[in-house]
């Protein structure tokens, strides 16, 4: 890691931090708050525009310092993220229809596909003819929609989405460097710097939230990183290893999205309906603090990564998948058990108060 790369990271931290301070002043002046309600966990109005600082610091440094245009066609990714960011920002200030949000996400992914198209996911099938251009396009859009919404929905408690994103972006920084994709390593490191600065304001006694504008941008860029990392090199069976490695770095938010969506639909609800069934909600209801819950979920994510890497060459894809699901399911089970014990304790306290009278 060069001194220049470290400088980019430090500047990202500084620019994002200064931007967030400015955004906070504007939000307080114009009362641009995320107001508490029965499905939200915070007790007082808090600005939800933290993503503005992350977005600004990222693109300022990508263009002014990294100057990747000669080596990386970054323009489609910029336009795709701009569309998604501004509509998500609008949604933070004035909620819009979920279908409109989904269409915008589809459009932003389609724009990014111009740069990310013709990737080698089909090599996993060992037959390029089975994965023509239309298949690559549909897979790209699906991956973007999956990660955008996964990170948007996991952003429910202090520090969680930012911490998961920080771990993933730092990991991609290293992985890109090992591949020799130094520009992408630098881009990922810049993203990590912005997330680190944001966590200063969000992890402990949050003074600002990431908001949809930040969480959707994070999911968007992680989708870019997953495809860029997995699409590198010669088409071979080793591409499977690349996809597994990248996939495990985003596994927990994706699994949580899938579980919650299935539960909602099984209960006759819209998959877009809001509730408190995410893993972080279960931990909070079970008596855990925001900070402890965020750290625990990040540790679960790291456990998934380490186990999958350790057994990558000796286990089949199906065995790895079941192992990852098993780790996540165990975490949900423990959360449910803690929730039951908390309910029992609360019931006992109520009985004790009643007996006093």
Overall domain count for the chain? 1
Q: Is 314 exposed, middle or buried (0-12, 13-18, 19+ CB in 10 A)?
A: exposed
pLDDT at position 233 is: 56
The confidence score (pLDDT) of residue 168 equals 97
Contacts of 40 (CB under 8 A, 6+ apart): 34
Structure tokens at 64: 């002014």
- Cα separation, 258 vs 252, whole angstroms: 10
**Using CA atoms, how far apart are residues 69 and 115, in angstroms rounded to an integer?**
12
Task: Answer yes or no: are the C-beta atoms of 349 and 342 closer than 8 Å.
Answer: no
Classify the phi-psi angles of 169: left when phi > 0, otherwise alpha if psi is within -120 to 50, otherwise beta.
Answer: alpha
**Dist CA 172 CA 43 (whole Å):** 35
Retrieve residue 3's tokens. 């001194």
The length of the chain in residues reads 357
For residues 2 and 293, give the distance between their C-alpha atoms in angstroms, rounded to a whole number: 35
Question: Which one, of 170, 184, 178, lies nearest residue 302 by Cα?
Answer: 170
DSSP string, 285-350: HTT--HHHHHHHHHHHHHHHHHHHHHTTTTS-HHHHHHHHHHHHHHHHHHHHHHHHHHHHHHHHHH
What values do phi and psi take at 209, rounded to 5? -105, 160
- In the three-class reduction of DSSP (H, G, I as helix; E, B as strand; rest coil), residue 18 is classed as helix
Average pLDDT across each block of 10 residues of the chain; the chain has 357 residues. List them in order.
Answer: 87 97 94 73 80 97 70 83 97 93 96 70 46 78 96 94 97 93 93 98 92 97 93 60 89 96 91 87 89 95 90 76 88 83 73 63
In angstroms, the CA 154 to CA 149 distance is 8
Separation between Cα atoms, residue 256 and residue 258, nearest integer Å: 5
Give the pTM: 0.91
| Residue among 138, 73, 134, 130 at smallest CA distance from 109 | 138
Residues with Cβ < 8 Å from 28, sequence gap 6 or more?
47
- Residues forming beta bridges with residue 34, ordered by sequence position: 46
CA distance 16 to 9: 11
pLDDT at 236: 47
Range of the domain at 198: 3-353
Helix runs in the chain, H state only: 3-30, 50-61, 75-93, 98-116, 133-154, 160-179, 182-202, 211-230, 238-248, 251-266, 279-285, 290-310, 317-356
pLDDT at 121: 45
Identify the pLDDT of residue 242. Answer: 83
Q: Which residues pair with 46 in a beta bridge?
A: 34
The two three-digit tokens of residue 205, written as one number: 């006694």
Residue 302: alpha-carbon gap to chain centroid: 14
């Amino acid at each position: 890691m060069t001194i220049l790369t470290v400088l980019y990271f430090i500047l990202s931290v500084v620019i994002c931090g200064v931007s967030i301070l400015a955004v906070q002043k504007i939000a307080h002046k114009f009362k641009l708050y995320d107001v508490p309600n029965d499905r939200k966990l915070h007790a007082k109005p808090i600005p939800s525009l933290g993503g503005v600082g992350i977005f600004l610091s990222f693109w300022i440094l990508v263009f002014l310092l990294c100057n990747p245009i000669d080596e990386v066609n970054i323009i489609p990714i910029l336009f795709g993220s701009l569309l998604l960011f501004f509509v998500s920002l609008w949604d933070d200030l004035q909620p819009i229809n979920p279908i409109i949000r989904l269409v915008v996400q589809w459009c932003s992914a389609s724009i990014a596909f111009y740069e990310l198209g013709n990737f080698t996911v089909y090599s996993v099938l060992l037959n390029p003819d089975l994965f023509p251009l239309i298949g690559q396009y549909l897979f790209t859009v699906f991956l973007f929609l999956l990660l955008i919404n996964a990170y948007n929905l996991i952003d429910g408690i202090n520090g969680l989405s930012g911490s998961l994103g920080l771990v993933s972006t730092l990991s991609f920084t290293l992985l890109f460097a090992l591949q020799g994709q130094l520009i992408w390593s630098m881009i990922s490191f810049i993203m990590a710097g912005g997330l680190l600065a944001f966590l200063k304001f969000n992890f402990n006694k949050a003074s600002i939230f990431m908001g949809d504008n930040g969480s959707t941008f994070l999911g968007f860029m992680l989708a870019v990183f997953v495809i860029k990392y997995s699409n590198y090199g010669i088409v071979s069976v080793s591409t499977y290893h690349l996809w597994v490695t990248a996939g495990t770095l985003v596994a927990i938010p994706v699994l949580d999205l899938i579980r919650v969506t299935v539960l909602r639909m099984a209960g006759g609800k819209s998959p877009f309906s809001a509730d408190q069934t995410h893993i972080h909600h279960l931990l909070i209801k079970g008596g855990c603090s925001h900070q402890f819950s965020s750290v625990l979920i990040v540790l679960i994510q790291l456990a998934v990564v380490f186990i999958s890497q350790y057994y990558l060459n000796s286990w089949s894809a199906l065995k790895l998948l079941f192992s990852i699901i098993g780790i996540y399911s165990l975490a949900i089970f423990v959360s449910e058990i803690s929730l039951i014990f908390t309910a029992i304790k609360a019931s006992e306290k109520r009985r004790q108060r009643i007996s006093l009278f």
